[in-house]
């Protein structure tokens, strides 16, 4: 059996990193005074100086998960995904989300579809306790096939309370919180696996009462509990595990991560792995594998977080590298 990789589906994480680096080399302009950037490009959220506070901004979309929504004609959850991908990135630096604007690009106007998408956006806004203050809808029949959904979110945080990961130190523990499924990443590979299998999105996944399409469309979890956790525990860093899987941990620290007791991935991950012949390390470099959020904090504070969340201690901070059991991820 051929062993499928993310690159086989047309997504090359290393190439994307090089492309982003090329853009960052050009975008060097910086405003001075109020409104000046506090952080460099590349963290979960951009921070802007507003005196005592920082304004935090994120932007993201749903990605090719929308193609499954189209195939299933089920559009009422992708708005939650769009909201979650933005809100979670704000939460990862400790900012409280305040407001959101969406961008919906359509091949053709379809009121049934747009109304269903709005249901998800509104539900996501309720979970995140923020307001949708505007947006843009564009009809682009020569560019878009189906639709594309993205958004931008703003939040606020006192500057001295920003969590960037710089306080992370060797010996800190890593607490992982479960994901709800694939969230909104790795769908180019997931779709390719299903397309090359004997299954369709409308077939029930073996061992489940739900169809493969329903399981893939499970909306992204929004980790609002993070705001309460950082008030009660000395959190040194947080990570939203999205595209590139566990490699996302490198975004918050130059130290290493030893994951010795990972969360159990939901059955949909193992189904995709088996059907696509995907190697174990490739799975953890592509998907969240059942862990959508990470807190890094002193061991003495771990019990506080465990009592407040459904997480568990999955690892610890070491000198360098990223290891999952006997497997090294690069």
Whether residue 1 has pLDDT greater than 60: no
Q: Is the pLDDT of residue 9 over 80?
A: no
- Residue among 78, 59, 87, 42 nearest 152 (CA): 59
Partners of residue 96 on adjacent β-strands? 156
The pLDDT, as a whole number, for residue 220 is 98
Please provide the average confidence, as pLDDT, over all residues in the chain. 94
For the entire predicted model, the pTM comes to 0.93
Average pLDDT over residues 214-218: 98
Backbone dihedral angles phi then psi of residue 203, each to the nearest 5 degrees: -85, 145
Name which of 35-39, 197-201, 217-221, 314-318 the model is least confident about: 35-39
pLDDT at position 18, please?
Answer: 78
Q: 3-state class of 65 per DSSP?
A: helix
**Which among 189, 187, 203 has a CA at the least distance from the CA of 2?**
189
- Per-residue pLDDT tens over the stretch 53-90: 999 999 999 999 999 999 999 999 999 999 999 999 99
DSSP string spanning 155-191?
A: EEEEGGG---STT--TT-EEEEEE-SSSTTSSHHHHH
CB 218 within 8 A of CB 11: no
Instruction: Encode pLDDT of 154-213 as tens digits.
Output: 999 999 999 999 999 999 999 999 999 999 999 999 999 999 999 999 999 999 999 999
Q: Flag the least confident range among 12-21, 38-47, 259-268.
A: 12-21
pLDDT more than 70, % of the chain: 96
Residue 170 CA to residue 303 CA, distance in Å, equals 19
d(CA 33, CA 106): 39
Q: Bridge-partner residues for 157, per DSSP?
A: 54
Task: List pLDDT tens digits, range 19-44.
Answer: 767 777 777 677 888 888 888 777 89
Task: Report pLDDT for 35.
Answer: 87
Distance, CA of 288 to CA of 100 (rounded, Å): 25
The residue-averaged pLDDT of 106-133 equals: 97
């Amino acid at each position: 059996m051929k062993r499928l990789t993310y690159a086989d589906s047309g997504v090359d994480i290393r190439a994307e990193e090089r492309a982003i680096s090329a853009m960052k080399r050009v975008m060097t302009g910086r405003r001075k005074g109020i409104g000046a950037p506090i952080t460099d490009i590349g963290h979960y959220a951009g921070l802007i100086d507003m005196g005592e506070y920082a304004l935090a901004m994120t932007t993201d979309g749903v990605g090719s998960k929308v193609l499954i929504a189209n195939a299933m004609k089920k559009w009422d959850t992708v708005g939650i995904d769009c909201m979650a991908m933005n809100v979670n990135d704000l939460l990862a630096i400790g900012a409280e989300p305040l407001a959101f604007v969406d961008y919906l690009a359509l091949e053709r106007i379809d009121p049934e579809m747009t109304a269903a998408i709005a249901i998800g956006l509104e539900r996501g806004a309720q979970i995140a306790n923020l307001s949708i203050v505007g947006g843009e809808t564009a009809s682009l029949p020569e560019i878009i096939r189906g639709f594309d959904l993205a958004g931008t979110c703003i939040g606020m945080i006192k500057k001295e309370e920003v969590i960037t990961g710089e306080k992370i130190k060797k010996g800190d523990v890593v607490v992982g919180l479960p994901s709800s499924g694939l969230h909104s990443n790795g769908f180019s590979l997931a779709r390719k696996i299903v397309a090359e299998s004997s299954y369709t999105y409308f077939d029930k996944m073996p061992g489940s009462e739900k169809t493969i399409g329903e399981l893939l469309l499970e909306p992204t979890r929004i980790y609002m509990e993070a705001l309460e956790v950082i008030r009660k525990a000395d959190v040194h860093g947080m990570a939203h595990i999205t595209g590139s899987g566990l490699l996302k941990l490198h975004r918050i620290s130059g130290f290493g991560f030893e994951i010795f007791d990972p969360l159990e991935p939901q059955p949909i991950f193992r189904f995709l792995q088996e059907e696509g012949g995907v190697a174990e390390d490739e799975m953890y470099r592509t998907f969240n594998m059942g862990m959508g959020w990470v807190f890094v904090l002193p061991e003495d504070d771990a019990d506080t977080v465990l009592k407040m969340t459904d997480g568990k201690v999955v690892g610890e901070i070491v000198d360098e590298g990223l290891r999952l059991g006997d497997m090294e991820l690069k």
